[in-house]
Structure 1
């Protein structure tokens, strides 16, 4: 069994949640790194009067205002790329949802940014769970997500942030969890 696999027996249901280590984030980080480095080298070429790029010759640009603007955009792009790479390295948002009839608890665990509260862990008794709720928002920015509706607290999100989950997969996961917990499924 792999680390990212889900496990289920009659007493424990565990679902792994993918964090920042997705193909789309890698592609975005690579593109931002290349773009930021290109702009930075173009600005530096303008300042030094030496061509540092092989695709064009920005050494002929006037440093003020063109070269300094390119350099600024390059530094900003490299800072954003650094943030993206660190987010991927730390795997922000990864974790798992575990529902255990042995202990009578639901445990929602996610990884955040390094620091005192890097690991966020929510634990609630299974008997306080009222239902599994689906929220579906269509349109330009669609959102498909599952929530636990718990007594005396806000709804707890169960699905990953980012790319919307296909409706069939969301419905299957929601039905499986509702059946395991013995609670109704809302929102479909």
Structure 2
């Protein structure tokens, strides 16, 4: 977050997270292994480069098992490529700008490449009624039966309705969400409401 007397900027993390890199890499390595085993099986070669005396594994027939391994490997490589593209393009990343000199609040997010790659919503400060804290119930846990709650900070506008300021993916504690909402409320000079 950057803060000055007349401007507040919140940077929003998109898909460029360590966990996304990890899962894309893990899916790629596993899929590549399956695909290579399927191709080696089609070519009639032994994937494990050991001598026949050390290892006594029966050959895998290509038609049911080898073809299935190659197919699943190819599908996994496509999925990991998709994940890597999402990470590279930083889908969902962007920023929120509250600018008193321009008298507007801007929300910018990156999307998928194409004609509408970026999304920009501009809201004049006169249209902002309040900052709202939305409390919602998560689904019940399947094994323990526990019910959890989460809280989302939103800007309540006249024309656009509620625009969320925090996301569930941010994994903010309740106090962090309330502090962020209070800080934005003080900066914009609007009330902070709980609904």
**Aligned partners of 1:57 and 1:166: how far apart in 2?**
55
2:143 is aligned to none
Instruction: State the partner residue of 2:190.
Output: 183
> Matches of 2:80 and 2:191 in 1, distance apart?
43
Paired residues in the alignment total 183
- Tell me the equivalent position of 1:146: 153
Superposed CA offset, 1:156-187 (max 9, x none): 12234634322222111111011111122233
Structure 1 portions without partners, runs of 5+: 1-5
* Distance change (3 Å), C-alpha of 1:78 and 1:143: farther
Corresponding position: 1:110 with 2:117? no
Q: How many angstroms does 1:146 deviate by?
A: 2.3
1:41 aligns with 2:36: yes
Distance 1:97 1:57, change over 3 A: farther
**For structure 1, which segment, 147-156 or 158-167, has the greater mean C-alpha deviation from structure 2 after superposition?**
158-167
Contact (CA 8 Å) 1:36, 1:77: kept in 2 or not?
Answer: yes
**Between Structure 1 and Structure 2, whose CA radius of gyration is higher?**
2
Match of 1:18 in 2: 13
Deviation sequence 1:85-121 (CA, Å, 0-9, x none): 0011111111100001111100000111111111110
Note if contact 1:178-1:185 (Cα within 8 Å) is conserved in structure 2. yes
TM-score (norm 2): 0.83
How far residue 46 of structure 1 moved from its aligned partner, in angstroms, is 1.9
String of CA shifts for 1:26-55, please: whole Å, max 9, x gaps: 111111111111111121122112234679
Alpha carbons of structure 1 residues 7 and 76: separation in structure 2 relative to 1, 3 Å = same
Using the alignment, how far apart are the partners of 1:142 and 1:72 within structure 2? 41
Match of 1:21, SS state, is coil
- TM-score w.r.t. the length of structure 1 is 0.86
The Cα RMSD (Å) is 2.5
Could you say what secondary structure the match of 2:108 adopts?
Answer: strand
1:37 match: secondary structure:
helix
Structure 2 residue runs without a partner (length 5+): 140-147
User: Helix, strand or coil for the counterpart of 2:16?
Assistant: coil
